[in-house]
Structure 1
Amino acid sequence: MHILLIFLVVSTVSSARHGYDFIQPITESTAACLKKAGISFVIPRLFTNLGHIDETGINNVKHARAAGIEEVDGYLFPCIGSKCPSAANQVKTVSEKLSAEKTHINTLWLDIERLNWPANHETNRKFIEELVAEAKALKHTVGIYSNYYNWEAIVGLDYHGQSSLPLWWAEYDGTPGFAKYKEFGGWKQPKIHQWHGTEKGSCDVSIDANYIP
Structure 2
Amino acid sequence: MLLKSVAFISVLAVLAQSVPASVKVLPFVDSSLPVKFRQVIAEAAPKVPAYLASYAFGVDLSVPVSTSQLQCIKQAGYAAVFVRAYNPAGQGSFDQNACNTIQNAYYAGLGTEIYMTPQPSSSKQGYQQLDEVYQGLNNVGITVRSIWIQVTSPTNWPANANSNVNFINSIVSRARQYGMTVGIYTSYYDWNQITNGWSSIGNDVLLWYWNVLGGGVNGETPASFADFRPFGCWTAASVKQFAQVEQVCQVTVNRDVYVAGSMLKAADAVEEDGKIYTGGYITGK
Q: TM-score, normalised by structure 1?
A: 0.90
Aligned length: 208
Query: 2:151 corresponds to which residue?
Result: 112
Query: 1:184 corresponds to which residue?
Result: 231
- Contact 1:45 1:77 (C-alpha < 8 Å) held by counterparts: yes
Instruction: Indicate the percent of aligned positions where both proteins have the same amino acid.
Output: 25
Change (3 A) 1:167 1:102: same
Cα distance, 1:122 vs. partner? 1.1
- Contact 2:134 2:144 (C-alpha < 8 Å) held by counterparts: no
RMSD: 1.8
Query: Could you say what secondary structure the match of 1:90 adopts?
Result: helix
Equivalent residue for 1:156, pick from 191, 196, 206: 196
Query: 1:28 corresponds to which residue?
Result: 67
Q: TM-score, normalised by structure 2?
A: 0.69
Query: 2:252 corresponds to which residue?
Result: 206
Query: 2:103 corresponds to which residue?
Result: 62
Gaps of 5+ in 1: none
Equivalent residue for 1:196, pick from 230, 238, 243: 243
Query: 2:166 corresponds to which residue?
Result: 126
Query: Could you say what secondary structure the match of 1:152 adopts?
Result: helix
1:87 aligns with 2:126: yes
Query: Could you say what secondary structure the match of 1:73 adopts?
Result: strand
Equivalent residue for 1:174, pick from 217, 221, 229: 221
Structure 2 distance, partners of 1:109, 1:18, is 17
Q: Deviations over 1:20-76 (max 9, x none)?
A: 00112111122122222221011010001120111122221111112222x211110
Amino acid at match of 2:229: K
- Contact 1:162 1:185 (C-alpha < 8 Å) held by counterparts: no
Q: Give the number of the structure whose alpha-carbon radius of gyration is greater.
A: 2
Cα distance, 1:158 vs. partner? 4.9
- Contact 1:23 1:44 (C-alpha < 8 Å) held by counterparts: yes
Structure 1 distance, partners of 2:43, 2:227, is 22
1:45 aligns with 2:87: no
Structure 1 distance, partners of 2:112, 2:166, is 28
Q: Deviations over 1:134-181 (max 9, x none)?
A: 111112221110110000101112533244311001111521111111
- Contact 1:21 1:208 (C-alpha < 8 Å) held by counterparts: yes
1:96 aligns with 2:135: yes
Change (3 A) 1:73 1:199: same
Structure 2 distance, partners of 1:38, 1:104, is 26
Q: 4+ runs of 1 displaced by more than 3 Å?
A: 1-4
Residues 135-146 of structure 1 correspond to what in structure 2 (within 5 A)?
135-146=175-186
| Bigger mean CA offset, 188-197 vs 109-118 | 109-118
Structure 2 distance, partners of 1:180, 1:15, is 16
Change (3 A) 1:109 1:147: same
